Chain A
Amino acid sequence: MNAPDKPNSYRSGPDERGFFGLFGGRFVAETLMPVILELEAAYAVARTDPTFARQMTEMGKTYIGRPSPLYYAERITAALGGAKVYFKRDELNHTGAHKVNNVLGQILLALRMGKKRIIAETGAGQHGVATATLCARYGLQCVVYMGAVDVERQKPNVFRMKMLGAEVVPVQSGSRTLKDAMNEALRDWVTNVETTFYCIGTVAGPHPYPAMVRDFQSVIGVETRAQMLEAEGRLPDSLVAAIGGGSNAIGLFHPFLDDPGIEIYGVEAAGHGLNSGAHAASLTGGRPGVLHGNRTYLLMDGDGQITDAHSISAGLDYPGIGPEHSFLHDVKRVTYVSATDTEALEAFQFCSKLEGIIPALEPSHALAYLMKLAPQKPKDHLMVMNLCGRGDKDIFTVAEHLGGM
């Protein structure tokens, strides 16, 4: 399709109807519209309320452990022989991934709105764990929907959620992964709309979720700017992040979108390969459509039926992507690429052995692409990758693929 004219700012979206260009919007059942409007109004007040900002900062610092470090990956840099590689260490956050940044914001908002029951969908389980954690911290009821396939492949996180007092509901419909968990969470929300706050884990869903989740995750990019200026005296030359729904990526990218010299790469999951039909690369292999409250690039057949995504990483195994990424793809501000299961597994081992950091399979996709990109760049090129999750949850999956290691 034709790319829209280049905007004055890449950071001005969404418009008042929730659109980033063609993408986004509010495609939901009427039952949900009043609560979505209520949420939008509550968030509009909260985001300019100094008390809310202070709570976010204080809890970010003392509970999550922010700021997360910006780490110079010296041995990976040496091994790749090109760009100077930095990791933004969001895997060091409490609960082990970037997800908690967003959950903190949404739970504080739920408290302001007087909602006592929190529901969430989860793929890899990181968002579910983060939600269960903050619900425990604030004494809220928590129900997490998780595809039955994901319950099986992310057992450690299922145990963690249960330990934290959450109810984990295995979803048996459809492909029994993240998209089906989201369908089921939406069904719960429609049913319990008066009492329930839906804590969406990524930059998707009906407006205001994509913008709100992005705002909560933008702390990643804001910190990275300051930390890179401190470390190197200048901004980075390139950014790399993995993309399922795209919340860690937009969190890193958004504060840099209007810095013209900075190359930005989003890495989708290519599963068994883009030509195999078994992948989760919505931008590379999909078309615009409407699902889960927003218009965005989706994997689907010729009749508009959503097709199953595949990725070794449960967190990337989703047939859509946040609408702002679809916009940034069409206006070509961000370059979207992909990495296969096999490449991600190689990157997983590479990082573990060279840096003593076991990454989650999600950022392993980002690292897989970085491993191709960094050698092409000069030694003074500063590259930041968002190491958005730790790999403890993935050791069984990886062991299975590598034959027990």
Chain B
Amino acid sequence: MTDRLTARFAACKADNRAALVTFTMAGDPDFATASALLHALPAAGADVIELGMPFSDPMADGPAIQLAGQRALAAGQTLARTLEMVRGFRKADDTTPIVLMGYYNPVYVYGVERFVTEAKAAGVDGLIVVDLPPEMDDELCLPALKAGIAFIRLATPTTDDKRLPAVLTNTSGFVYYVSITGITGAATPDFDKVGTAVARIKRHTDLPVAVGFGVKTPEHAAAIARGADGVVVGSALVDLVRGSLADGKATDKTVPAVIGLVSALAGAMRTTRRSL
């Protein structure tokens, strides 16, 4: 049921490389620019696309993603328009997996049943909802799975072996290992510890393990790619969106700036053989 995600991670594995998972914010800095960026990501080397659903109070995010969400909301982004963005993307690309990432409240207010139905129809492959731990699975995780959408859980350095099975139950698509205790875009992880942690998670699951939080440069991505099935880069990309703006508006540099880093990340990761 996680067709595109499973296929894409399997293809990367067959290539003996880690998947590049990019995070950008839907509607940042405006709907048209964010859509153009979304369409350009696969050709630049993004294997899996995480698309942020902006929220006014992103408790687990650092300043870069907080600001990206604020820009998107200021430009009129809504959950309905995020689904519209996915529908637009699917007309051109039916193979690159899209995972929506955000917080529960906008989904809850939209209506869980309505959301999972429309998201599935739009071509959404998975969900990452930061503030829904396994204890809250009946809220959205189980309805999403029932609708055929993967529910991707975050595992963190605080998720010990005792808790891991609970976190992995009902997780599908892939496991997102948060490499630091902290908010997005914060400290750079200790690469040795990351490899050990991924190995620990892999003892509990056959799902691919992608690593994120604090990955900023092609060198970071390559270092992590050696020991993981996927590398997630987010804050560094949305920071480039911010840096490209003039008076808060998109410029002709916005899409190329982000695409430039995505290409560099993909290049570094494609020359990195995995040691898994």
Chain A residues close to B by CB (< 8 Å): 17, 25-35, 173-174, 179-180, 183, 186-187, 190-194, 287, 289-293, 295, 298, 300, 302-307
Closest to A295 in B: B108
Q: Which residues of B are found within 8 Å of A31, using beta-carbon distances?
A: 60, 154, 156-158, 178, 181-182
B226 at the interface (CB under 8 A from A): no
A186 touches B59 (CB 8 A): yes
A183 touches B59 (CB 8 A): yes
- Minimum CB–CB distance from A189 to chain B (whole Å) comes to 9
B110 touches A30 (CB 8 A): no
CA A174 to CA B159, docked complex, whole Å: 30
B104 touches which of A27, A35, A300 (Cβ 8 Å): A27
- Indicate whether A187 sits within 8 Å of B132 (C-beta atoms), given known contacts A31-B158, A303-B79, A304-B107: no
Closest to A29 in B: B60
Chain B: interface size category: 35 or more
B108 touches which of A29, A192, A194, A290 (Cβ 8 Å): A290
- Indicate whether A304 sits within 8 Å of B158 (C-beta atoms), given known contacts A173-B66, A186-B59: no
- Indicate whether A303 sits within 8 Å of B109 (C-beta atoms), given known contacts A30-B154, A30-B156: yes
Q: Which residues of B are found within 8 Å of A194, using beta-carbon distances?
A: 158, 181
Q: Which residues of B are found within 8 Å of A29, using beta-carbon distances?
A: 59-60, 130-131, 133, 154, 156
- Minimum CB–CB distance from A296 to chain B (whole Å) comes to 11
CA A295 to CA B182, docked complex, whole Å: 23
List 10 A-B pairs, Cβ < 8 Å.
A27-B136, A29-B60, A29-B130, A31-B181, A34-B158, A183-B58, A187-B61, A190-B183, A300-B105, A306-B105
Q: Which residues of B are found within 8 Å of A305, using beta-carbon distances?
A: 54-56, 73, 106
Q: Which residues of A are found within 8 Å of B155, using beta-carbon distances?
A: 30
Closest to A187 in B: B183
- Minimum CB–CB distance from B65 to chain A (whole Å) comes to 11
Closest to A173 in B: B66
Q: Which residues of B are found within 8 Å of A303, using beta-carbon distances?
A: 78-80, 106, 109-110
Q: Which residues of B are found within 8 Å of A183, using beta-carbon distances?
A: 57-59
B160 touches A34 (CB 8 A): yes
CA A27 to CA B141, docked complex, whole Å: 13
- Minimum CB–CB distance from B11 to chain A (whole Å) comes to 28
Q: Which residues of A are found within 8 Å of B106, using beta-carbon distances?
A: 303-305
B136 touches A26 (CB 8 A): yes
B132 touches A27 (CB 8 A): yes
B163 at the interface (CB under 8 A from A): yes
Extra A-B contacts (9), CB below 8 Å, given A30-B154, A295-B108: A29-B131, A30-B178, A34-B159, A173-B63, A289-B105, A303-B78, A304-B107, A306-B56, A306-B57
Q: Which residues of A are found within 8 Å of B148, using beta-carbon distances?
A: none
Q: Which residues of B are found within 8 Å of A186, using beta-carbon distances?
A: 59-60
CA A43 to CA B115, docked complex, whole Å: 38
B71 at the interface (CB under 8 A from A): no
Within 64-82 of B, Cβ neighbours of A (below 8 Å) are at 66, 73, 78-80
B135 touches A187 (CB 8 A): no
A304 touches B108 (CB 8 A): yes
B62 at the interface (CB under 8 A from A): yes
B167 at the interface (CB under 8 A from A): yes
CA A192 to CA B187, docked complex, whole Å: 12
B163 touches A33 (CB 8 A): yes
B274 at the interface (CB under 8 A from A): no
B186 at the interface (CB under 8 A from A): yes
CA A159 to CA B62, docked complex, whole Å: 28
Contact with A along B42-57 (1 / 0, CB 8 A): 0000000000001111
Closest to B66 in A: A173
Q: Which residues of B are found within 8 Å of A173, using beta-carbon distances?
A: 63, 66
Contact with A along B251-266 (1 / 0, CB 8 A): 0000000000000000
Q: Which residues of B are found within 8 Å of A306, using beta-carbon distances?
A: 56-57, 105
- Minimum CB–CB distance from A155 to chain B (whole Å) comes to 26
Q: Which residues of A are found within 8 Å of B135, using beta-carbon distances?
A: 17, 26, 33
Closest to B163 in A: A34
